[in-house]
Amino acid sequence: MREADFQIRPCRPGDEDGVYEVCLKTGDSGQDGSRLYADDPKALGHIFVGPYMALEPELAFVLEDQLGVCGYVLAALDSKRFYQRYRQEWLPPLQAKHPQPTGDPVQWTPVQSLYHQYYHPEIYLPESFAPYPSHMHIDLMPRAQGQGHGVRMVQLMLKTLADKGSPGVHLGLSAANPRAYRFYTKLGFAELARVGATEPQVVYMGRKLP
C-alpha cells in the first residue's frame, strides 16, 4: 500500500470504535488480543486508549487508510495530573458498571484482571521519571506496520509535546515485545526501568525533548 493511502490526523468524535479495535488487535504484547479479551472486547481499551481520548484529546492522533483507523498515538502532557484525573473522573463510571472481581486472582480471566485494574490502577511514576513528565502510547495494525508510519507518528507526537513545553516523555512496553524495544531505541529512547515480579516485565523507556 502506498504512503498516500495512509493519513495521520487528529482524533475526532466517532473514532472511538476504531481506536479501541486497534488496541484490542495489538493487545497481547503487540499481537491480537481478541481471544484473551473476548468476554469484554473494550475492557483493555478502557485503560489504554479511552482515557487519553477523553482527557487529553489535543494529544490524540490516528492513522487512517481506506479501511478505517489502523493506528493511533496518544499522550498525556503532565502524567501526574493525568493520573489524578484518571482516578477521579475516568475510573468511577467503570467501577459502577463492572464489580471488582473477588476470589483467587490466579483463577481470574484476563478480563477480570483488567476489571481489577479499574479499582487498583497499575501506575508507575517514580521520582526518577521527573525529567520525563509526559508519557505516550502508540499501536499500529499489522497492515500499517513496517512502512515508516510509526516513525512519523512518534515524531509528530514528540514535536507536539515539545511545542507544549514538555522537557521529556516516557512510555512502557512489554519485555515480550523486542521489536518495539528496537523501534524506540532507534528513535532515541533509552531504558529507564524494568518492573514486574512475573514475566513478562514492563520496560519503561524515556527520551528528552526536543
Does the pLDDT of residue 135 top 80, yes or no?
A: yes
pLDDT at position 196 is 87
Task: For residue range 189-210, list pLDDT tens digits in order.
Answer: 999 999 987 888 999 999 999 9
Considering the domain delimited by 3-166, tell me its CATH architecture.
Answer: 3-Layer(aba) Sandwich (3.40)
Residue-range domain boundaries for the chain: 3-166
Average pLDDT over residues 18-27: 97
Which residue do the cell numbers 525529567 mark? 131
pLDDT at position 200 is 87
Burial of 84 (0-12, 13-18, 19+ CB in 10 A): exposed
Q: In b/e form, how buried is each residue of 117-151, taking b as 16+ CB within 10 angstroms?
A: bbeeeeeebeeebeebbbbbbbbbbeebbeeebbe
pLDDT at position 198 is 82
Does the pLDDT of residue 73 top 70, yes or no?
A: yes
Average pLDDT over residues 102-123: 96
Q: In b/e form, how buried is each residue of 31-43, taking b as 16+ CB within 10 angstroms?
A: eebeebbeebbbb
At 207, give phi and psi (nearest 5°): -145, 135
- Strand-pairing partners, residue 174, are 202
Which residue do the cell numbers 529507564 mark? 192
Q: How far apart are CA 99 and CA 103, in angstroms?
A: 13
Tell me the Ramachandran region of residue 184: left when phi exceeds 0, alpha when psi lies from -120 to 50, beta otherwise.
alpha
Structure-model confidence comparison of residues 1 and 18, the more confident one? 18
Largest CA distance in the chain: 52
Task: For residue range 137-185, list pLDDT tens digits in order.
Answer: 999 999 999 999 999 999 999 999 999 999 999 999 999 889 899 999 9
pLDDT, the chain, mean: 95
pLDDT band (50, 70, 90) for residue 2: low
Does the pLDDT of residue 3 top 60, yes or no?
A: no
Kindly report the three-state secondary structure assignment for every residue of 111-133: HHHHHHHHHCCCCCCCHHHCCCC
Nearest Cα to Cα of residue 58 among 84, 82, 83: 82
